[in-house]
Structure 1
Amino acid sequence: MENNTVSFYFNLTMFVKIGHYHYPAFVFCLLLYSFIVSANFVIILVILRERTLHEPMYMFIALLSVNSLYGSAGFFPRFLMDLLSDSHLISRPACFTQIYVIYTYASYELTILSIMAYDRYVAVCHPLHYHRKMTSKMVFNLAAVAWVFPAFGLIACISLSARLPLCGNEIQKVFCANWNVVKLSCVTTVANNIVGMLLTIATVFLPLFYVLYTYLRIVIVCWKKSAEFKGKVLQSCLPHMVSFVIYSITGFCDIALSRYDVQDINPFVAVILSLEFVVIPPVLNPLVYGLKLPEIRRHILRMLPSYKQ
């Protein structure tokens, strides 16, 4: 029976560290999930309804909100169930499905932020050619690449992990993570490490350096322009820069935690760090774009009954 448990189930051990805070944590996370769904749905609805927002920048913002809903759906329902449960076992198929959803969510976030950076780069550095370059077909192709490439790359990576014979079943997280599973392997994981490194370079470091490059070019162009021009550029680029910085910090925290022995970290801090990148971006993205971009903010306010009166 024990061998079957090790073979077919993983135990998410970090829930023990939450202790007597299970019920308050459940209520708080349920409200948080409700806010994520509502806020991102409002952003998507506003952009789809208003024809004036059918522009590349706003369509990419809608994609970002769709990704937030996707990633949250892959994390919160199972997490909320585990908060109320005494047992935190998860089957292997369910674990690898969760890994796939959360990791594709993480990859999509970076690839979408990258194509948003390209959109801002063209708009600021090549304004006369913007409508020629950012056609509906180009927007569709960029979105397709942003979604398709990480999906296939992660299928290859997770397939390798799913075939590993494991000598344990304890995952020191509140959700399934690929590296934590690989560490349980009874055999060498050189192939997993190589594929994982190549995938990390393609889906993390290349988008990261590309975003930094585009904003360096934008800064160079703005340097010689008027204060009014700089203000307009800052207004359109600031939400994207905030989203990019937030996601980079939360992603780094999760990667660092995966490579570190959580036994040496304060239990409360370990849980918070493990939740950051699946909670903070979906919460802050609709706030950042809804509050900072006047076009979206105005249409959201028009939806409120008090504003109409």
Structure 2
Amino acid sequence: MMDNASTMTVFTLSGLNGLEKYRIPLFVATLLCYCFIWVANVIIIVTIIMDKNLHEPMYIFVCNLCINGLFGTAGFFPKFLSDLLSTAHVISYAGCMLQGFVLHAYIGADLSILLLMAFDRYVAICRPLVYHALMTRQRISVLIFFAWLLPLKLIAISSITTSTIRLCGSHIPKIYCISYLVNRLACTPSLAAGVIPAFNYTFYACHFVAIIWSYVHIIKTCVRSKENQVKFMKTRHKMCGKPHILCLMIFATSVLFDLMYIRFGSNSVSESLKNFMAIEFMVVPPILNPVIYGLKLTKIRNRLLQTFSLKPD
């Protein structure tokens, strides 16, 4: 045990304790999963970038969502794969801060991009006359810039605050490192270390509420107008109604699982279930996002079929 943050050099991770005999099968399964995530997301990203017909707001947002998936998983999978082949599950202080920063920024950026996608659908369906005037390339560029900048800035402030607290422990009961668990090792509670994460959680909870509100408003608008009902049904397949809602719920459920366990988890829960809840948000959304959008969005699906020399439907 170290006296303070300046002398803390290594944290121990206990999430893989008891799984030694399953290390090789887990390593192979994890490696295959990570390879699939890279291949699936890169295919969607390259397809959207290379095809000028896909240079529309929704597809640009989907591209950024896939890029963010690669960014977030890069903060977890390489270290996790290394730990599966090692008998000592440790992480340096700097590595812990970096991993926590990447994982939290990934969550924030994902919600920001999903909010932009919801806003795009809201304007397209509820304000169609001003859509092209409002969703210009310049404005989209600015929106995407802030969708990345805000989470990076907010999480950087939180990470800096965490790095200044005095620590009286070095054991983290998880398979990866995040700021909240480091804060729990503090010798004395820090007001800033509690207030800043609380603000971040509230800020992104508001993102989720805004997304839900936008779709509730879209549905209400469509119900009142037969013309809009037809537009919504077409939009749902063409420009991401159902896929967006599905991916949002998958992501929100995955993150909620982990947050609920971190704050209210019981020691009676099996280690396997703990690990599943811990990594779900880094595995399920990056896998399903490119699959769902690639299959459901007609333009992307047809472009993929053409690329692989298959005749589109």
Please indicate, yes or no, whether the TM-score normalized by the shorter chain is above 0.5: yes
Query: Which whole-Å deviations, capped at 9, do the CAs of 1:197-250 have from their partners, x for residues lacking one?
Result: 111111x21101110111111011110233533421332311110111001100
More helix by share: 1
Q: Which residue is equivalent to 2:91?
A: 90
Structure-1 residue corresponding to 2:243: 239
8 Å contact from structure 1 (residues 172, 262) kept in 2: no
Tell me the residue number matched to 2:69: 68
Select the residue among 258, 278, 281 that pairs with 1:277.
Answer: 281
SS in 2 for 1:14: coil
The equivalent of 2:149 in structure 1 is 148
Change (3 A) 1:264 1:14: same
**1:110 and 1:207 in contact (8 A); partners too:** yes
Equivalent-residue separation in structure 1 for 2:119 and 2:286 (angstroms): 22
Deviation at 1:156?
Answer: 1.1
Secondary structure of 2:151's aligned partner: helix
Matches within 5 A, 1:11-50: 11-50=12-51
Would you say the 8 A contact 2:2–2:167 is kept in 1? no
CA contact (8 A) 1:82 1:88 kept: yes
Q: Deviations over 1:154-202 (max 9, x none)?
A: 1111111111111111111111011111111101222211111111111
- Counterparts of 1:179 and 1:262, CA distance in 2: 17
Gaps of 5+ in 1: none
Deviation at 1:264, TM superposition (A): 2.1
Measure the CA separation in 2 of the matches of 1:151 and 1:305. Answer: 40
Contact 2:125 2:231 in 1 (8 A): no
Structure 1 runs (4+) deviating above 6 angstroms are none
Quote the Cα distance in structure 2 between the aligned partners of 1:233 and 1:304: 26
Cα deviations across residues 68-103 of structure 1 (Å, max 9, x unaligned)?
111111111111000110001110001100110111
Letter in 2 for 1:304: F
Write the deviation string for residues 258-302 of structure 1: whole angstroms up to 9, x where unpaired. 113452211111111101011111000001100111110111111
The answer as to 2:295 corresponding to 1:294 is no
Partner SS, residue 298 of structure 1: helix
The 8 Å contact of residues 157 and 195 in structure 1, kept in 2 or not, is answered as yes
Residue of structure 2 equivalent to 1:179: 180
Instruction: Between 111-120 and 165-174, report the one with greater CA deviation.
Output: 165-174
1:97-153 alpha-carbon deviations (Å, 9 max, x no partner): 011011101100000000110001001111111110000011001101111111111
* Amino acid in structure 2 at the alignment position of 1:195: I
Q: Count how many residue pairs are aligned between Structure 1 and Structure 2.
A: 306
TM-score, length-scaled by structure 2? 0.94
| Residues 305 and 311 in structure 2, CA contact (< 8 A), matched pair in contact too | yes
Q: Map of 1:51-62 to 2, 5 A cutoff?
A: 51-62=52-63
Q: Does the residue aligned with 1:48 lie in a helix, a strand or coil?
A: helix
Counterpart residue identity of residue 233, structure 2: G
- SS of structure 2 residue aligned to 1:10: strand
Classify the secondary structure of the residue corresponding to 2:186: coil
TM-superposed deviation, 1:306 = 5.3
Aligned to 2:217: 217
The 8 Å contact of residues 171 and 180 in structure 1, kept in 2 or not, is answered as yes
CA RMSD of aligned residues (A): 1.7
- Once the two structures are TM-superposed, the CA of residue 4 in structure 1 deviates from its matched residue by 8.7
Tell me the equivalent position of 1:119: 120
Distance in 2 between the 1:39 and 1:100 partners?
25
Segment drifting more, 25-34 vs 11-20: 11-20
Q: Percent identical across equivalent pairs?
A: 33
Trace 1:160-171 onto structure 2 (pairs within 5 A).
160-171=161-172
Aligned counterpart, 2:208: 208
From 249, 256, 273, give the equivalent of 2:253: 249
1:264 aligned to 2:265? no
2:9, 2:93 within 8 Å by CA — same for their partners in 1?
yes
| Distance (Å, rounded) in 2 between the aligned partners of 1:259 and 1:107 | 19
Q: Distance in 2 between matches of 1:92 and 1:206?
A: 32
Moved more, 186-195 or 130-139: 186-195
Find the counterpart in structure 1 of residue 130 from structure 2.
129
* Structure 2 Cα separation of the partners of residues 261 and 224 of structure 1: 44
Q: What secondary structure, in the 3-state scheme, does the structure 2 residue paired with 1:30 have?
A: helix
Structure 2: state its 5+ residue gaps: none
